[in-house]
Chain A
Amino acid sequence: MKKMLGLLLACALVLGACSSNGGTNSAGEGGNGGDGGDASKITIWAWDPNFNIKAMNLAKETYAADHPDVEIEIIENAQNDIVQKLNTGLSSGTTKGLPNIVLIEDYRAQSFLQAYPDMFHPLTDSFKAEDFAEYKLGPTSVGDTRYGLPFDSGVTGLYVRTDYLEQAGYTVDDMQDITWDQYIEIGKAVKEKTGKDWLSLDPNDLGILRVMIQSAGSWYLKEDGKTADLADNAALKEAFETYKKMMDANIVKIHSDWSQYVANYNSGDAASVPTGNWFTPSITAAADQAGKWAIVPLPKLTNNADSVHASSLGGSSWYVLNVPGKEAAAEFLGATLGSNVDLYQKLVTDIGAIGTYKPASEGEAYKAPNEFFGGQVIVQDFAKWTAEIPNVNYGMHTYAIEDILVVEMQNYLNGKAIDQVLADAQKQADSQIK
C-alpha cells in the first residue's frame, strides 16, 4: 500500500511539473518586425513630394483600380538618405527594411548596378525598351539587361520671370538661344533694375556645371565612364569660369537645400532657373506667379563650338530590388509607367511631369498649351530639346568627382588659378577612383 501511494505521489508531481512548463514558452516571442517586404505589399522609396511622389501616387491610384488587393506604400526620403540606406542595406547583404521599388538618379544608377549586381531584379521582360528615350537606356542597363524603368526626362530649359525681364527692358525673345555670357549680362540688368537675384545656387551642388558640360557633349569622365576627365576638359574649364563670372556679377542667391531653393523662386527673390523640366511643378506651385514665367532654351557655352541649347539634369528611373515581392513590384511598374499612355497624360496634366515613354507624346496632353507659362506648349518644347541632348556616359563616379570639384570650386572662387584647380582636381580624382 505504501509503495502504491509513493508511486501515486510521484506521478502527481511529474504531471504537475509538466503542466506548469506548458505555459512559459510563448513569453519571449513577439516584438520582431516583418522581414523585408511581404508579397501583398509593395513599398516604394522616392524623393521630391511635388514630382516623384505625386507621380507614384497617380500610378498607385491607376493600379489600385484594377488590383484592389495590392497594398502600395510610398515613403518619402531625402535622396541622400535613400542612397545611404541603399548602400548600407545592399552592402550588408540583408534585405530587411529595404523597399520593393526605389527611385535612383541616372547619374548614380551604374554605381549601384555594378556594385550590387545580384540585388536588382531585371525588368527586361516588364517593358519594351524601344518605347523609351534612348539616352535613358544606357544608365539604366547593364549590357542588354534592363534594370531600371526609365522615368522622367532630365531635359533642361531655362525658366525665366518675364515680368522682371520686362522691368529690366528685355523680352522673352531676347532670351532665346543665348550664351551663358549673355545670360549673365541680362542678369546683371535685372538685378540692377529689380534688385532681385538672377538665379539661386547651392555651393554643394554643381548641377549647373554638369548642365553646361553635357550641353557640349562632355562629362566629368571620359567615354569609358571610368577615367576622370578634368584637367584638359575645355568645357569644364569654361563652365568653372562661367560659374565664377556669375558669382562676381553678384547675381546669385545662395540656398542650402531644396526647400530654400524652391522658396527663393516662389517668393520671387530669384528670377531664372536653368534646370531640368522636373522643376515645373515647383514653379507652378506658386499660383500667384501664373503667367509670369516662360521657358526658353538653355544658354550654351560661349566659347565652345560643340555646345548646344539642350542638356539634361537629374533624370531618374525606377528599380526593383531583389527582395520578396519583386514579381508584384515588377508587374506594378510594367502595368503603370511601363505601358500606360493615359497615366502619362495625367502626369503631364496634373503634375507637369514629362516622361520618357515615346508613345505618350502622341497624346493630347503633350500638345496642350500651359496657361501658367502664358500659353506656351512647354511639353513640346521640352520634347524638341530632348532630341538635341548630347549623349554622354555618366559612368560610375559622377558624384565622387563632384565632391572633389565642390571643394576645388571654393578654392577657385578664393583666387586659385583655374588650371591649377582642375589639375589638382584631376590628381585627387585619379587617386580616388580606380
Chain B
Amino acid sequence: MRRFFDRFKYNGLFVKMFIVMVVSIASVAVITTWTTINTSERVFLETFSITNSKVVEQIKSNMDAYNYAIVIASNNVLQSGSIRGFLTEGDGNSLSQMRAYYNMSQQIKRIHSGLDAYDVSIIVNGVNGRSFATDRTIWPISDKALRSHPITDRTLSEPRKLHYLYDDANVSGNPDVAPTIVASKALLDRTTGKVYGSMYFPIREQEFKRFYESFTSLGNDVAVMSGTGMILSSNRSEWIGQPSEQLLNYAKEIEKKGLPYMDAEMMDKSHVILSTYLQSLDLYVVNVIDKEAAIGQLTDTDAIVLTVMIIVAAALIIVFLISRRLTKSLTRLVKQISTISKYEFDHEVTVGGSYETRQLAQAFNSMLAELQVYVRELLETQKGQRNAELEALQQQINPHFLYNTLASVKFMVQQGSKEKAAETINALISLLQNAIGNVSATITLSQELINLKNYVFINHVRYGERIKMNYFVSPDCMGYHVPKLIIQPFIENAFFHGFNQKSEGNIYFMASKDGDSLVCEVADNGDGFDMGGVDGLPLPQTSRRQLFAGIGVKNVHDRIKLLYGEQYGVTIASEPGEGTRVKIRLPLIKG
C-alpha cells in the first residue's frame, strides 16, 4: 500500500496527465460521434425533405395530369348531346335503341381514348335507367346498387363538383369491390339546371398507387387523403380506406403555414411529414417519413461506435506510451532530487531522458555545485570570523589578572622572597607569550601542560595552595597538538567555581588516546552543581576580574566544533557535592 502510494507520488504527473488525456480523448470521441451522427441525421433529413418535396411535386403533377384527363373526359361527356340523349330519352324501338347504344359506344370510346394512359373506366348512369360502362370489372357494382350508392348521393348533393371518393367492400357492402377511387360528377343540364344522370371514373387503388408507388420505400410512405381525412390510397395497404384525423390536421397545418415539412409524432414514432394540397381534386398528397426507419438505413450506429471505440483505444495506448516516456525521466529526476535534498547534498543527479529533463538535471547539478561553493565560502568566512573573534578575545588578557598577579609579585619582592617573585614573573611571561601568539596555531599537549602549570603556579602564588592540581597524561599523547588555551578555561572554572563551599580539594587533568581521538578531561571533587537532567554547558558567569582571558567554556565548545566537526566538542557531567567532570574530545593532530 505504501509502495503504491510512493509510486503514485513519484508518478503523479504521469497519472494526472494520463487521466486528463483519457478524459479529453473520450469526450472528444463522444462529442464528435454524437455531433457527426446528429449532423448527418439533420443533413439527411434536410436533403430527404428537399428530394421528397420534389417527389411530392412529381406526384402532384402526376395526379394533376390524371385529374386533367378526367376533367377533359367529364367535360366531353357533359358536352355530348348524344350522351345526354341516350341518358334522357325513352326506349323507343329496337332500331333507335340500337342507334343510341351504338352512338353512345362510339362517343364514349372516343372520350375514353383520352384516358387510355390510365386503367380507368367510364360509367354513366341516366335518369331514364340506362347506363353505359366501358369496363365493369374495375368497379364491379351493379347499376341498381350504384343508384343508391353513397358516392352517388355525395355526387348529386354537389352536382357541379368533381368528387374523388373512395369505395371498397366495406363502403359498398359488395365483397367483390376492391379498394377503388372513383371520380364522379353529376350530369347537369346547364340550360335547365336539371341533373340528368351521373358519371363515374373508377380506378383501382392498385392502379392509382402507380402515380407515386415508385417514390416510396421502407419508412417513406405516401398517402392520398381526401379533404375529409379519408385515406383514399397509400402504399401502406393497412391505411387504405381508414380515416386519419391526425394526418389531416398535420396536412392542414402544413398547408396553412406553408411549411416545407414538419416533424410529428404518429403511432408513437417520430415522423417527418410533407404534404401538398391539390385544390382542384380536394386531395392531400401526404408523404410520411418514419425517421427511425429512414435514418436507420443511413447510419449504422453500432459500426460507428465500434470504430470510435477502436480509435479511442488506439489513441489511449499511444498516449499512454508517449506520456509514460515523457514523464519517466522526469520522475527519475524528481526521485533523485528528493533523496539528495535529504541525505546527499554533494551528489549530482544523473543527466538523461528528454531534452527538458536533461536541461533540468544540468541546471540542478550546476545549482548544486554553486551552492556547495557558496556554502564552503560561507564556512570559511564563519571560521575566519570566529578566529578573529577569538583572537580579539585572546588579546584581551584580563588587566585585573595582570594587576593581581603583579601585585602579588610586588608583595613577594617587598617580603624579600626574590626567588619566588622571579619564578612567578617567569610563569607570567611564559603564559603571556603563549597567549599573545597566533590564536589559530596549535601547540603540543606537553607545551599546553607547561602553560597550565604556569597558570596553576600563579594561582597558587595568589590564593594559596589549598586546591591541589594533579596531571595524568598518557605519554603517547604528549606529541599531539591541541589548540592554544583550550583547556585553561576549564581549570580556571574549577578553581573559581568548584570550591566555593569546600575549602580545599583536588583538580585532575587527564589526557589519553581514545580510538582516533584525543580525550582530555578536567575533573574536580568540588561543589558540583545540579545539571537539571540536561547535558550541556550551563556554566555560571564568572567574575571578570578573576579571568585570565576572555575565552569562556562556551567559546571553547563552539570553537572545537567549528574547527574539527560535529563529533568533537565538550561534554560536562556534574553532581552536587561530588564534583564536576569536563570531557574535551579532540582529533589526533600531529605537527
In-complex Cβ contact of B104 among A4, A24, A81, A256 (8 A): A256
User: Within residues 130 to 148 of chain B, which ones have a CB less than 8 A from any CB in chain A?
Assistant: 131-137, 140, 142-143
Residue of A at shortest CB range from B33?
A16
Q: Are B94 and A249 in contact (CB under 8 A)?
A: yes
Q: B194 an interface residue at 8 Å Cβ cutoff?
A: no
In-complex Cβ contact of B94 among A15, A31, A254 (8 A): A254
Residue of A at shortest CB range from B322?
A1
Q: A320 an interface residue at 8 Å Cβ cutoff?
A: no
0/1 string, A73-99, CB within 8 A of B gives 1: 000111011000000000000000000
User: Within residues 233 to 257 of chain A, which ones have a CB less than 8 A from any CB in chain B?
Assistant: 246-257
Q: B217 an interface residue at 8 Å Cβ cutoff?
A: yes
Given A1-B322, A16-B311, residue A201 in contact with residue B105 (CB < 8 A): no
In-complex Cβ contact of B100 among A47, A197, A254 (8 A): A254
Specify which chain A residues have a CB less than 8 angstroms from the CB of B268 in the assembled complex.
none
Q: Give the interface SS of chain B, mostly helix, strand, loop or mixed.
A: helix
- Interface size classification for chain A: 35 or more
| Separation of A29 and B217 alpha carbons in the complex (Å) | 8
Specify which chain A residues have a CB less than 8 angstroms from the CB of B303 in the assembled complex.
19, 22-23
Q: From B179-187, B294-302, B396-404, B498-506, give the one contacting chain A.
A: B294-302
| Separation of A1 and B321 alpha carbons in the complex (Å) | 12
Q: Are B99 and A410 in contact (CB under 8 A)?
A: yes
Residue of A at shortest CB range from B326?
A1
Q: From A258-266, A287-295, A324-332, give the one contacting chain B.
A: A258-266
Q: B259 an interface residue at 8 Å Cβ cutoff?
A: no
Q: B362 an interface residue at 8 Å Cβ cutoff?
A: no
Q: Are B105 and A81 in contact (CB under 8 A)?
A: no
| Separation of A165 and B25 alpha carbons in the complex (Å) | 102
Q: Are A30 and B97 in contact (CB under 8 A)?
A: no
Residue of B at shortest CB range from A246?
B94
In-complex Cβ contact of B311 among A15, A251, A256 (8 A): A15
Residue of A at shortest CB range from B299?
A23
0/1 string, A15-36, CB within 8 A of B gives 1: 1101110111011011100000
Q: B345 an interface residue at 8 Å Cβ cutoff?
A: no
Specify which chain A residues have a CB less than 8 angstroms from the CB of B131 in the assembled complex.
256, 260
| Separation of A250 and B314 alpha carbons in the complex (Å) | 99
Q: Are B105 and A256 in contact (CB under 8 A)?
A: yes
Q: B363 an interface residue at 8 Å Cβ cutoff?
A: no
Q: Are A250 and B93 in contact (CB under 8 A)?
A: yes
0/1 string, A150-167, CB within 8 A of B gives 1: 000000000000000000
Residue of A4, A26, A257 with most partner-chain B CB within 10 A:
A257
Q: Are B318 and A256 in contact (CB under 8 A)?
A: no
0/1 string, A403-423, CB within 8 A of B gives 1: 000100010011000000000
Residue of A at shortest CB range from B300?
A23
Q: B278 an interface residue at 8 Å Cβ cutoff?
A: no
Given A203-B101, A252-B94, residue A8 in contact with residue B318 (CB < 8 A): yes
Residue of A23, A26, A80 with most partner-chain B CB within 10 A:
A23
Q: B564 an interface residue at 8 Å Cβ cutoff?
A: no
Specify which chain B residues have a CB less than 8 angstroms from the CB of A284 in the assembled complex.
none
Q: Are A257 and B104 in contact (CB under 8 A)?
A: no
Specify which chain A residues have a CB less than 8 angstroms from the CB of B534 in the assembled complex.
none
Specify which chain B residues have a CB less than 8 angstroms from the CB of A27 in the assembled complex.
217, 294, 297-298
Residue of B at shortest CB range from A201?
B98
Q: Are A259 and B98 in contact (CB under 8 A)?
A: no
Residue of B at shortest CB range from A13?
B311
Q: Are B105 and A203 in contact (CB under 8 A)?
A: yes
Q: B216 an interface residue at 8 Å Cβ cutoff?
A: yes
Say how far A288's CB is from chain B's closest CB, in angstroms: 16
| Separation of A76 and B139 alpha carbons in the complex (Å) | 12
Say how far B133's CB is from chain A's closest CB, in angstroms: 5
Specify which chain B residues have a CB less than 8 angstroms from the CB of A20 in the assembled complex.
36, 40, 299, 304
Q: Which 10 A-B pairs have the closest CB atoms?
A: A203-B102, A252-B94, A19-B307, A23-B300, A254-B101, A250-B93, A254-B97, A30-B217, A31-B217, A78-B137
27 contacts between A and B (CB under 8 A): A15-B310, A19-B304, A20-B36, A20-B40, A23-B298, A27-B297, A76-B137, A78-B135, A78-B137, A81-B137, A246-B94, A247-B98, A248-B94, A248-B95, A249-B94, A252-B97, A252-B98, A254-B94, A254-B98, A257-B136, A258-B136, A259-B136, A259-B140, A259-B142, A259-B143, A413-B95, A413-B99
